[in-house]
């Protein structure tokens, strides 16, 4: 019979990793479903036809459609970059002991990922040799560098792991965090533009007696406004949180794990912390 004391705390949701992978696929379908619905409402049903009305309507429609398509392209680019970019793994041959004693450049950056080409900063990803300690992953059966954590969903250790994101069906780590941050930025901007552009139609639902359009189009417009408003508000909070983490050179995992030290050992100052992420692949 299971113990009652720590039963809830001992619950491990990552036993259901297969379900989480399936959930990720569902979330991807949901993302493209929302994008498709939004495109239909904004471009096909509303601002597309208004583009040929002439006068102020045409100018307004042109500006909205230009912003919408520009942000949509950047949103999709950053999304696929986050999905398809390897977050960074640990080579099976990596060993910390010799390099820690000598203080040499770590082979994980110099050989496996090509630190000079990728622009990764060794101290930000691996830490300074003086601050390192031997860390061993029992699941991967190999050593792992500082700031590296094992992802039970991906089944491997991830460099500077932030979290596993079901929305992108991938871990967010050292090599794709920049794209993830850009994805949040463009998602917030795109959903905000859509929300503002559909606001007049949403208000018309409750103020005007008769509204032009088929019942299906009106329902789609209402749902699109609510969805984009919800995403804009939720992503805004998530974006603010991650910007604060970037400025402190901290990952989501480290934010929950680290103690209240007077000085976080990876903090190089807000400017350098921000540059490490934004200029990582320049």
Classify residue 266: in a domain, yes or no.
Answer: yes
Classify residue 171: in a domain, yes or no.
Answer: no
Backbone dihedral region for residue 249 (phi beyond 0: left; psi -120 to 50: alpha; all else: beta)? left
**pLDDT reading at 144 higher than 90:** no
Sequence-ordered alpha helix ranges (H) in 208-251 = 215-247
Looking at the structure, do residues 199 and 255 belong to the same domain, yes or no? yes
Which of the four pLDDT bands, split at 50, 70 and 90, describes residue 242? very high
Classify residue 234: in a domain, yes or no.
Answer: yes
pLDDT at 72: 98
Least confidently predicted of 11-25, 31-45, 47-61: 11-25
Looking at the structure, do residues 234 and 198 belong to the same domain, yes or no? yes
pLDDT at 41: 95
Contacts of 53 (CB under 8 A, 6+ apart): 61
pLDDT at 39: 97
Looking at the structure, do residues 125 and 248 belong to the same domain, yes or no? no
The mean pLDDT of the chain is 79
Examine the fold and report which residue of 113, 129, 160 is the final residue of a domain before the chain moves on.
160
Examine the fold and report which residue of 107, 133, 160 is the final residue of a domain before the chain moves on.
160
Contacts of 271 (CB under 8 A, 6+ apart): none
Looking at the structure, do residues 196 and 63 belong to the same domain, yes or no? yes
Classify residue 21: in a domain, yes or no.
Answer: no
* Most confident stretch, 39-43, 108-112, 276-280: 39-43
**pLDDT reading at 83 higher than 90:** yes
Looking at the structure, do residues 68 and 183 belong to the same domain, yes or no? yes
Say how far apart CA 261 and CA 83 lie, in whole Å. Answer: 34
What DSSP state is assigned to residue 113? S
**Collapsed DSSP state (helix, strand, coil) of residue 142:** strand
Examine the fold and report which residue of 136, 160, 184 is the final residue of a domain before the chain moves on.
160
Say how far apart CA 261 and CA 248 lie, in whole Å. Answer: 13
pLDDT: which is higher, 21 or 237: 237
**pLDDT reading at 139 higher than 50:** yes
Least confidently predicted of 57-66, 160-169, 244-253, 273-282: 273-282
The angle at the Cα of 277, spanning 273 to 282, to the nearest 5 degrees, equals 125
**pLDDT reading at 9 higher than 70:** no
Which of the four pLDDT bands, split at 50, 70 and 90, describes residue 63? very high
pLDDT: which is higher, 119 or 271: 271
Looking at the structure, do residues 190 and 267 belong to the same domain, yes or no? yes
Classify residue 6: in a domain, yes or no.
Answer: no
Q: Would the pTM count as exceeding 0.85?
A: no
Q: Which of 157, 165, 171, 282 is catalytic?
A: 165
pLDDT: which is higher, 112 or 128: 128
pLDDT at 2: 46
CB atoms within 10 A of CB 34: 16
| Structural domain count of the chain | 2
Q: Give, rounded to a whole angstrom, the gap between the first and last alpha carbons of the chain.
A: 57
Looking at the structure, do residues 272 and 219 belong to the same domain, yes or no? yes
Q: What percent of the chain has pLDDT over 70?
A: 73
Classify residue 167: in a domain, yes or no.
Answer: no
**Collapsed DSSP state (helix, strand, coil) of residue 150:** strand
Say how far apart CA 176 and CA 267 lie, in whole Å. Answer: 20
Looking at the structure, do residues 149 and 182 belong to the same domain, yes or no? no
The angle at the Cα of 273, spanning 235 to 150, to the nearest 5 degrees, equals 70
Looking at the structure, do residues 190 and 263 belong to the same domain, yes or no? yes
Looking at the structure, do residues 110 and 71 belong to the same domain, yes or no? no
Looking at the structure, do residues 42 and 130 belong to the same domain, yes or no? no
Looking at the structure, do residues 185 and 241 belong to the same domain, yes or no? yes
Q: Write out the DSSP string of 163-218.
A: EEETTTTEEE-TTTHHHHHHHHHHHHHHHHHHHHHHHHHHHHHHH-S--SS-HHHH
Which of the four pLDDT bands, split at 50, 70 and 90, describes residue 270? confident
Q: Report residue 211: phi and psi, to 5°.
A: -125, 135
Structural domain that includes position 47: 27-87+176-278
Classify residue 7: in a domain, yes or no.
Answer: no
Which of the four pLDDT bands, split at 50, 70 and 90, describes residue 38? very high
Identify whether 165 is a catalytic site residue.
Answer: yes
Classify residue 245: in a domain, yes or no.
Answer: yes
């Amino acid at each position: 019979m299971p113990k009652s004391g720590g039963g809830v705390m001992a619950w491990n949701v990552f036993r259901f990793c297969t379900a989480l992978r399936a959930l990720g696929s569902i979330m991807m379908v949901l993302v493209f479903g929302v994008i498709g619905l939004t495109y239909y409402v904004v471009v096909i049903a509303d601002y597309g036809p208004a583009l040929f009305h002439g006068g102020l309507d045409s100018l307004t429609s042109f500006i909205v459609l230009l912003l919408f398509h520009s942000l949509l392209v950047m949103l999709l680019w950053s999304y696929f970059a986050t999905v398809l970019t390897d977050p960074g793994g640990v080579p099976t041959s990596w060993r910390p002991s010799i390099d820690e004693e000598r203080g040499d450049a770590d082979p994980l950056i110099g050989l496996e990922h090509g630190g000079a080409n990728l622009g990764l900063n060794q101290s930000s990803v691996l830490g300074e040799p003086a601050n390192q300690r031997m860390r061993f992953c029992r699941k991967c059966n190999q050593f792992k560098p500082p700031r590296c954590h094992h992802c039970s969903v991906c089944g491997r250790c991830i460099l500077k792991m932030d979290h596993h994101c079901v929305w992108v069906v991938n871990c967010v780590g050292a090599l794709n965090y920049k794209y993830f941050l850009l994805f949040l930025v463009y998602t917030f901007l795109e959903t905000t533009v859509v929300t503002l552009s559909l606001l007049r139609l949403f208000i018309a639902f409750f103020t005007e007696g008769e509204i032009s359009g088929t019942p299906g189009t009106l329902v789609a417009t209402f749902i699109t406004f609510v969805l984009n408003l919800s995403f804009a508000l939720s992503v805004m909070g998530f974006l603010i949180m991650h910007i604060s983490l970037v400025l402190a050179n901290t990952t989501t995992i480290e934010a929950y794990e680290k103690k209240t030290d007077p000085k976080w050992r990876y903090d190089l100052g807000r400017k350098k912390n921000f540059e490490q992420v934004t200029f990582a692949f320049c």
